[in-house]
Structure 1
């Protein structure tokens, strides 16, 4: 049983102990659902606008239809619905609701479309070359050469960027606060240092227009999407550059365990999805520079 009396209180108990990025992701997904039901924007609603007691299976199915009408990718629709189903499951488990309508809601059956989201080396090179802004060009390069997740790049500060013999290295902090160090080509390290100028070690590597804060994930998505559209590809996301890093480095004979370490995969089975060729440096060192 729970002493929670509101949806927000229940949500707080549900995410307790989860990594910060996971908490934020779950809140975004639940707020999108609340916004749909309230016919408002996610910024205009609170978690308490979502009445779990009044939910029906129809609400869940209509939300899935709505997301499809907005052109959201099947994986995005499934992710949001998975968050809702998990939250409802928790609410039922602790006795906050008596009926869990999420049990009857099935997720979409997804085909393995990973290959469709892997850019070629030429496409990545063109995306970078056609980006005119220095910050955004370096952002694209960093995403590609490190294989970093968006959240990891959002949090980058200059303290995380160091020389490493004849190249450079970047410290990334991923899921669950796990850290890893990724080597980058000397050319990228030198460009980053030139871009840094006199910025302090605690300043963001990729500052927003205000300068004192790093780029937010939505803005990074916009930058990458625009770079993809310049070469005629719609829907490119930062994760596509992560996919490209894995695929290209494996094709260039980077050891699979090295790619696993560089990307921060907990299981080598995840990395194996990118194998297109044969499977001590980070794998970014195998990419063209």
Structure 2
């Protein structure tokens, strides 16, 4: 194969981007992988073909020393393994272990806390964002990509397109937002993003994160709240209502039910009815 055709640039990161594009990986993943590979090459002060096992290990140790989480370390590990192993066919990763994941329980809001956050928002658009994040379990990245045509009013469903793993799925259309979205349908075309900025462009994830944090602050919620907290709360509350975990898995877009099972550890249905020995 003519390497000049496959890789039009001598830039090592350009090679990475092209390979990831061919595999249909998301721009977010491409950006993250490129960042870690650039940092590793700079840290080692070596070219891609000169870098050694000891350099990669030292870079990962450097990230750990900076206080990076196991999740971040494993993302960096995956990026380096993909680049040096899959693209450059350098098989020196057998001696480098992955970071052990921390099994912290997700932060979950009570139903009352969610209601307070939604109710305190005066801006209808911001209120609708919160309602959809909690009412459907969508990820923030999925919400910003949501288009008017993805809402199926007849069936009471929302089509979440290009979710994690580039997989589409269906979620429920909450009755609480139905009227708001019907009004939006009169103002938008099917291809328009549901949530836009003042210039008509797509909102950023950061903007929605700020809206969620503002709502939590105004509602005096004393937990660290992010858009993903509303997703955690959606899943936990469904399980507490008795929803089958397989349905919850499907709504969240998890490829394995094992990922969904984390929420069984934070449901309070049974624990709330137990009496502490101190109170007996």
- In structure 1, the residue matched to 2:82 is 86
Out of 109, 124, 148, the position equivalent to 2:114 is: 124
Contact 1:26/1:83 (8 A) holds in 2: no
Work out the CA distance in 2 between the residues paired with 1:27 and 1:103.
Answer: 25
Q: Counterparts in 2 of 1:162-181, with a 5 A limit?
A: 162-164=152-154, 168-173=156-161, 174-181=163-170
- In structure 1, the residue matched to 2:146 is 156
Is 1:145 equivalent to 2:121 in the alignment? no
Out of 2, 14, 20, the position equivalent to 1:15 is: 20
Aligned residues, how many? 254
Work out the CA distance in 1 between the residues paired with 2:96 and 2:217.
Answer: 35
Work out the CA distance in 2 between the residues paired with 1:273 and 1:83.
Answer: 26
Aligned CA distance change for structure 1 residues 162 and 76 (closer, same or farther; 3 Å): same
Contact 1:150/1:220 (8 A) holds in 2: yes
Work out the CA distance in 1 between the residues paired with 2:80 and 2:110.
Answer: 35
Aligned CA distance change for structure 1 residues 261 and 218 (closer, same or farther; 3 Å): same
- In structure 1, the residue matched to 2:99 is 108
Out of 192, 202, 209, the position equivalent to 1:214 is: 202
Q: Can you give the 5+ residue segments of structure 1 that lack an aligned partner in the other structure?
A: 40-48, 279-289
Aligned CA distance change for structure 1 residues 10 and 103 (closer, same or farther; 3 Å): farther
Work out the CA distance in 1 between the residues paired with 2:77 and 2:71.
Answer: 10
- In structure 2, the residue matched to 1:261 is 250
User: What TM-score comes out, normalization by structure 2 length?
Assistant: 0.75
Work out the CA distance in 2 between the residues paired with 1:133 and 1:269.
Answer: 38
Out of 8, 20, 24, the position equivalent to 2:28 is: 24
Work out the CA distance in 2 between the residues paired with 1:146 and 1:139.
Answer: 11
- In structure 2, the residue matched to 1:44 is none
**Cα deviation, residue 205, structure 1:** 0.5
- In structure 2, the residue matched to 1:271 is 260
* Bigger Cα Rg: 2
Q: Can you give the 5+ residue segments of structure 2 that lack an aligned partner in the other structure?
A: 270-280
User: What TM-score comes out, normalization by structure 1 length?
Assistant: 0.73
Contact 2:71/2:101 (8 A) holds in 1: yes
Aligned CA distance change for structure 1 residues 135 and 184 (closer, same or farther; 3 Å): same
Q: Secondary structure at the match of 1:240?
A: helix
Work out the CA distance in 2 between the residues paired with 1:229 and 1:264.
Answer: 29
